[in-house]
Amino acid sequence: DAGVIQSPRHEVTEMGQEVTLRCKPISGHDYLFWYRQTMMRGLELLIYFNNNVPIDDSGMPEDRFSAKMPNASFSTLKIQPSEPRDSAVYFCASSRGARPGNTIYFGEGSWLTVV
Amino acid sequence: KQEVTQIPAALSVPEGENLVLNCSFTDSAIYNLQWFRQDPGKGLTSLLLIQSSQREQTSGRLNASLDKSSGRSTLYIAASQPGDSATYLCAVVNAGGTSYGKLTFGQGTILTVHP
C-alpha cells in the first residue's frame, strides 16, 4: 500500500489567503485524523472522522479552520483566512477499526508557512 | 486532561551505547501507549504499541515497557547506531473515549548518536 498521502508537501502563502490541505488515507482504513505540529505546542489533534463522519472537532482552533471528508478516500483541511500563527506542519493519519491494538499510520505532513 | 511528559528533551550518545528514554502520563486510564520515531522533515513511524494489559513489547533492538499504575513507560535502545538519530515521541490513547486513535503526545526526545 502507498501509505497515507498528503498534498501539498510544502506551501508558502500570504496572510489572508485560503489554504487547502489534502489527504488520502490508506485504503480500508475507517478512521482519519488531522494533527498539527508546532515547536511550541508539539502534536495536537485537530479533528478526526469515522466512516467519513466528523466525530470530534474540539481541537480545531477556531472558525477559520474547517475539515471535510466527502468519501472514504479523501479529506481536506481548509484554513480561511490564513494567519502567520497557522504556520505549522499538518499531519493526516489513518487507522483501521476501533481496537486498542490498531496502529495509526501518519502521512509525511504538509509544511505550511504563512507570511 | 491527559498530559504526557518525556525526559530528557535531548540526548547525545556515542555509537554502541545502550540508552533509555522516559515517558510519563498523568492519567493512568489508558487503552494503549505507542512509541513513534520522527525523522527530520518526515512523518511519524510507529515503533512499538503496548496495550494497557501488557507490560512490554520488543522489536529488534528496541524494548518498551509500561507501568500503567505509576503512569510511566520507557523505551530501551540497545547498541545504538547513528541511524537511530531521530526524535522519539511517546503517545497514549485514553480509555473511555470514542476512538482508539485519538493520541495525546509528549514533546519528544531528540536523540543524536554520533560515530
**Residues of A with CB below 8 A from B66's CB?**
none
Q: B84 in helix, strand or coil?
A: helix
Residue A96: pLDDT band with limits 50, 70, 90: confident
Q: Could you report the per-residue pLDDT of A74-92, keeping only the tens digit for each?
A: 999 999 999 999 999 999 9
Q: What is the pLDDT at residue B57?
A: 95
Whether the pLDDT of residue A65 is over 90: the answer is yes
CA gap A58, B61 in Å, rounded: 38
A42 in contact with chain B, both atoms CB, cutoff 8 A: yes
> Positive or negative CA dihedral for A59, B24, B79, B63?
negative
Residues of B with CB under 8 A from a CB of A: 31-32, 34, 36, 41-46, 49, 51-52, 89, 91, 93, 98-108
Q: Could you report the per-residue pLDDT of B59-75, keeping only the tens digit for each?
A: 999 999 999 999 999 99
Average pLDDT across each block of 10 residues of chain B; the chain has 115 residues. List them in order: 94 96 94 93 90 93 96 97 97 73 88 96
Q: What is the dihedral of CA B72, B76, B82, B87, to 10 degrees?
A: -20
Strands A110-114 and A10-13: parallel
How many angstroms away from the CA of B30 is the closest CA of chain A?
A: 10
Nearest to A100 among B31, B36, B45 (CB): B31
Residue of B nearest to A6 (CA): B43
Q: What is the pLDDT at residue A10?
A: 96
**Residues of B with CB below 8 A from A102's CB?**
100-101
Mean pLDDT of A104-111: 92
- Asked if B103 lies within 8 A of A48 by C-beta distance, the reply is no
CA gap A20, A70 in Å, rounded: 14
Q: What is the pLDDT at residue A98?
A: 60
How many angstroms away from the CA of A14 is the closest CA of chain B?
A: 22
**Residues of A with CB below 8 A from B6's CB?**
none
